[in-house]
């Protein structure tokens, strides 16, 4: 803890003044005495010098203690009250002020609290009225955000300078899959609010599409859109459709373009399948043309009546061989078409009871066969291709109805560990296993349509199993499908859950009004910048002595909003032991780190996550030292500006005793959760940073350059690692 030099000065000053006054008084008295009188005075005082010195020290100590108490009550207490009142004035701290010092000081604290309470009530009244006035606009925004979030197509909305304003979950997962480092923290995040779309697409490509859209808008085209195909990470092909976002315009004026919408489709698999089919059809056509020519020539030769037996056999062999080859090629084409049909319909999450109800309706409609359903008491979600699975159930029920004359069937669903079993049950005549296997292998026929798929194809599509069982005692038999259950949530989202009852914040329409990150960062206002707030957990406190990073966590702040959904969290294999002292702090045991990516793999992903932002950390010198030591091995460099909440807190609250993260959070009334885990500390640091920004503005610190310069003048800026 830093000691206040002013308190020490206040304590020592009375003793110094007393000593100087006593010395001056003795000198003046001695100057008025004759030599003999001074000698007599010296004889009188010399034996009592120790007593006089002791009395002087006691008097100086008493005066120093009194001065120290006076300084604490009259200087320190008002200064701390001022800082606490500033926090309260910003609406970011607890409602109670520290009541220390004199009675007047305590009374002043209570009066400030009362005034702050009145001001807070007035603010609440104003906010309520503003909230009522803007409720309709917010509802429209929420509806649009909800619509975008639930779309199955990837959607990204950008401002004209390429800053992302809105994206949906589909786009987020798609860009994660396209990342160059998918094994690290879900991949380096390529998309996020306020980030540049040029991290994904080349700028000339977007600029060219923008130019085409603006030309079509100028021509009053009915659909001023542009489409292009481009490559993305991991060799994927994306088809992108760009449409304009029109800004409101006055009556009679042409609407201007304020941004654009990108609709994205990953067409890699589609093109591969089309290319494979084209090659197969081309091969079938070319080879069939050659085969038909050979067979025609052979048949022409067979028309000669005087053809000897050996040549006749040779020409017949040509016809047989070419016919067999054509048959194989046609079978290959059928097999390829069947494989494409197996994957045509997507696997989707579906409530088991809904699947049972749909299957029962289809069976009754197709065959007039009554079908009961038995669903589990607890809702069971399945991950299925409902189209092909319903076809399989209708097909099997139809075979039972046609060949055994059944009058009733039943569908039962229940859990089976991580999977679920779906049974088609009937009573009465029982088939043998060979017949059941034949039904499983035959192409399915539903009504008058014969499908190239079999029941086994459908089962393989689900990665499940299918078998036939019977129970002699109850005279029941059933076909059983073993199907996958749906996961409770996507694995990519498990690391950073959204707050309860909230929709993920994938949009910020205010960014339409914001300028980009271009320009001199030092001159940019702090409120306009995007930030990456991060923290590291390590094996120890000595980065130069061999300690290593074991976890990196980070969140982003854009447009003054903490984006909890856009987080980075990754454990790191340090390739060394973890001391017991460090284990007692963060609790990250070695078993959690085995097999994790190394820091050389994690840093590129974190570097991509923090691109185009200002770095923020608490005691940033410590974390940045660890990063700097690994830059060369990872082949990158962190050249962003760095802000330290430790220095900023000391800047706005110089009279506070502690600037530890917990102490600052307590002053601001922030709840502390997940301490000493990288992501938890990053979230807490971000909350603190957001509350420091208005206090910096009150002190005239508006730009990044001003904040960096002022922070370096604080006492704690001397810390080095």
* Residues 476-519: tens digit of each pLDDT: 899 999 999 986 544 333 333 433 333 445 556 666 555 444 44
pLDDT digits 0-9 by tens, 360-392: 999 998 889 999 999 998 889 898 888 889 989
Q: What is the mean pLDDT of the chain?
A: 80
Tokens 């010092």 belong to residue: 101
Main-chain dihedrals φ then ψ at residue 222, nearest 5 degrees: -65, -35
Top-confidence residue, 710 or 302: 710
Supply the pLDDT for residue 615: 95
Is the pLDDT at 533 greater than 70? The verdict is yes
Mean pLDDT computed over 284-297? 72
Is the pLDDT at 547 greater than 70? The verdict is yes
Least confident of 29-38, 330-339, 344-353, 600-609: 330-339
- Chain Cα centroid distance, residue 204: 28
Least confident of 24-38, 68-82, 564-578, 621-635: 68-82
Supply the pLDDT for residue 186: 44
pLDDT exceeding 70 applies to what percent of the chain?
77
Supply the pLDDT for residue 557: 93
Tokens 């920004």 belong to residue: 693
CA distance 424 to 470: 11
How does 490-515 read in b/e, with b if 16+ C-beta sit within 10 Å?
eebeeebeeeeeeebbbbbeebbebe
Give 303-340 as a DSSP string. T-TT--HHHHHHHHHHHHHHHHHHHHHHHHHHHHHHHH
Least confident of 543-552, 646-655, 666-675: 666-675
Instruction: Determine contact, residues 694/92, Cβ cutoff 8 Å.
Output: yes
Top-confidence residue, 124 or 561: 561
Supply the pLDDT for residue 307: 76
Over 132-183, what HEC string results?
HHHHHHHHHHHHHHHHHHHCCCEEEEEECCCEEEEECHHHHHHHHHHCCCCC
Supply the pLDDT for residue 23: 74
Mean pLDDT computed over 81-98? 64
pLDDT exceeding 90 applies to what percent of the chain?
23
Cα distance between the two ends of the chain = 18
How far apart, in Å, are the Cα atoms of 399 and each of 404, 439, 465, 640, 653? 8, 8, 20, 69, 81
pLDDT band at 689 (very low <50, low <70, confident <90, very high): very high
Which structure tokens are listed for 144? 């649009």
Supply the pLDDT for residue 492: 36
Supply the pLDDT for residue 96: 63
| Host H or E run for residue 721 | none
Is the pLDDT at 598 greater than 90? The verdict is yes
Instruction: Determine contact, residues 421/480, Cβ cutoff 8 Å.
Output: yes
Is the pLDDT at 619 greater than 70? The verdict is yes
Mean pLDDT computed over 319-341? 69
Is the pLDDT at 330 greater than 80? The verdict is no
How does 652-675 read in b/e, with b if 16+ C-beta sit within 10 Å?
bbebbeebebeebbebbebeeeee
Helix (H, G, I), strand (E, B) or coil at 41: helix
Global model pTM greater than 0.75: no
> Which residues are catalytic, by number?
676
Main-chain dihedrals φ then ψ at residue 431, nearest 5 degrees: -90, 170
Is the pLDDT at 251 greater than 90? The verdict is no
Top-confidence residue, 190 or 560: 560
């Amino acid at each position: 803890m830093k000691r206040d030099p002013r308190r020490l000065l206040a304590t020592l000053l009375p003793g110094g003044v007393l000593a100087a006054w006593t010395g001056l008084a003795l000198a003046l008295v001695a100057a008025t005495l004759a030599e003999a009188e001074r000698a007599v005075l010296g004889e009188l005082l010399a034996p009592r010098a120790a007593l006089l010195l002791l009395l002087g020290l006691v008097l100086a100590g008493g005066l120093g203690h009194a001065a120290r108490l006076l300084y604490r009550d009259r200087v320190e207490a008002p200064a701390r009250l001022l800082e606490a009142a500033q926090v309260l004035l910003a609406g970011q701290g607890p409602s109670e002020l520290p009541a220390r010092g004199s009675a007047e000081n305590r009374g002043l604290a209570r009066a400030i609290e009362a005034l702050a309470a009145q001001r807070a009530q007035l603010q609440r009244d104003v906010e309520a009225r503003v909230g009522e006035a803007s409720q309709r606009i917010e509802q429209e925004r929420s509806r649009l955000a909800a619509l975008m979030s639930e779309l199955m197509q990837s959607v990204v909305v950008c401002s004209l300078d390429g800053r992302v304003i809105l994206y949906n979950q589909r786009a987020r997962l798609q860009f994660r899959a396209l990342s160059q480092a998918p094994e690290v923290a879900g991949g380096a995040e390529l998309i996020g609010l306020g980030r540049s779309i040029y991290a994904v697409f080349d700028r000339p490509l977007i600029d060219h599409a923008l130019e085409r859209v603006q030309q079509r808008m100028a021509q009053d085209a009915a659909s001023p859109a542009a489409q292009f195909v481009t490559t993305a990470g991991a060799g994927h092909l994306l088809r992108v459709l760009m449409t304009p976002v029109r800004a409101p315009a006055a009556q009679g004026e042409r609407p201007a373009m304020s941004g654009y919408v990108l609709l994205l489709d990953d067409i890699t698999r589609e093109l591969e399948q089309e290319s494979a089919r084209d090659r197969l059809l081309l091969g079938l056509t070319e080879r069939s043309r050659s085969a038909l020519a050979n067979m025609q020539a052979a048949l022409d030769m067979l028309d000669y009546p005087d053809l000897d037996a050996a040549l006749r056999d040779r020409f017949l062999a040509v016809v047989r061989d070419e016919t067999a080859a054509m048959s194989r090629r046609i079978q290959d084409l059928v097999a390829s078409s069947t494989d494409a049909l197996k994957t045509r319909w997507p696997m989707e999450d579906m409530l088991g009871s809904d699947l049972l109800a749909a299957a029962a309706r289809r069976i009754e409609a197709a065959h007039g066969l009554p079908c009961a359903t038995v669903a589990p008491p607890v809702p069971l979600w399945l991950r299925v291709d409902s189209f092909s699975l319903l076809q399989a159930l209708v097909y099997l029920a139809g075979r039972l109805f046609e060949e055994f004359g059944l009058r009733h069937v039943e569908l039962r669903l229940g859990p089976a560990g991580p999977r679920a079993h779906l049974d088609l049950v009937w009573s009465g005549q029982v088939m043998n296993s060979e017949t059941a296997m034949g039904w499983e292998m035959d192409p399915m026929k539903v009504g008058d349509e014969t499908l190239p798929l079999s029941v086994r194809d459908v089962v393989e599509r689900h990665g499940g199993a299918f078998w036939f069982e019977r129970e002699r005692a109850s005279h029941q038999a059933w076909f059983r499908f073993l199907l996958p259950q749906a996961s409770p949530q996507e694995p990519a989202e498990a690391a950073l859950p959204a707050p309860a009852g909230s929709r993920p914040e994938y949009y910020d329409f205010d960014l339409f009004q914001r300028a980009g990150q271009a320009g001199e960062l030092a001159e940019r206002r702090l409120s306009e910048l995007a930030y990456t707030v991060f923290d590291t957990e390590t094996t120890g406190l000595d980065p130069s002595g061999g300690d290593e990073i074991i976890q990196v966590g980070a969140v982003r702040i854009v447009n003054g909003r903490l984006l909890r959904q856009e987080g980075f969290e990754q454990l790191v294999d340090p390739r060394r032991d973890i001391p017991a002292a460090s284990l007692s702090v963060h609790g990250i045991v070695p078993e959690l780190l085995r097999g994790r990516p190394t820091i050389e793999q994690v840093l590129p992903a974190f570097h991509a996550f923090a691109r185009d932002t200002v770095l923020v950390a608490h005691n940033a010198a410590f974390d940045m030292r660890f990063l700097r030591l690994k830059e060369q091995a990872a082949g990158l460099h962190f050249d962003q500006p760095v802000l330290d909440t430790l220095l900023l807190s000391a800047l706005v609250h110089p009279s506070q005793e502690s600037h530890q993260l917990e102490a600052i959070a307590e002053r601001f009334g922030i709840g502390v959760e997940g301490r000493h885990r990288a992501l938890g500390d990053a979230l807490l640091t971000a909350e603190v940073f957001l509350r420091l920004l208005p206090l910096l503005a009150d002190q005239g610190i508006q730009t990044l350059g001003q904040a960096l310069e002022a922070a370096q003048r604080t006492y704690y800026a001397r810390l080095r690692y």
